[in-house]
Amino acid sequence: MDEIFPWIDRYNMNEEAIDRDHRKLVKLANTFLTAFSEEKAQIVLNVVLDELGDSARTHFKKEEKEMRKTDHAGFIIMKDHNDVLSREIRMFRDTYVDGKLSEEDVTSFVKEWVLRHMRLQRRVKNRKTSKTN
């Protein structure tokens, strides 16, 4: 079966740790979306969705720590964005668990949620590294 959300080369940041984390997020998104489309048991879906949220929060903390360490000019923007994404995944989970979302809503949210993070990270990375540069 084809992936619902395939990894493509333009997602690469050319930073091994970041790319590994992003690939994991895309893989978990695919695992969740495939399980959802195959109408897997709710417990399976909840576990995968929780793992997606946990992995994202772990990734956010790592990137924020690295940005803080290098005094990156985009730290505040990235931190605020990550906080929003963390809230969104919690709200999504609550809405999803209540059964109020269609397959299209679920697929659209999960894909766009991951892509928004990767797009902003790319933009922020392209800024000057330090506030003093």
Which domains does the chain possess?
A: 14-125 (1.20.120.50)
Q: Per residue of the chain (133 residues), what is the pLDDT tens digit?
A: 578 899 999 999 998 999 999 999 999 999 999 988 888 888 888 898 899 999 999 999 999 999 999 899 899 999 999 999 999 998 998 888 777 788 888 889 999 999 999 999 988 887 765 555 5
The pTM for the full model equals 0.86
Query: What is the per-residue pLDDT for 128?
Result: 60
Which residues fall within 8 angstroms of residue 79, CB to CB, at 6 or more apart? 64, 67
Query: What is the per-residue pLDDT for 100?
Result: 77
Query: What is the per-residue pLDDT for 103?
Result: 82
Query: What is the per-residue pLDDT for 129?
Result: 58
Asked whether the beta carbons of 119 and 11 are under 8 A apart, the reply is: no
Query: What is the per-residue pLDDT for 132?
Result: 53
DSSP assignments along 23-42, one per residue: HHHHHHHHHHHHHHHTT--H
Query: What is the per-residue pLDDT for 44?
Result: 86
Query: What is the per-residue pLDDT for 130?
Result: 52
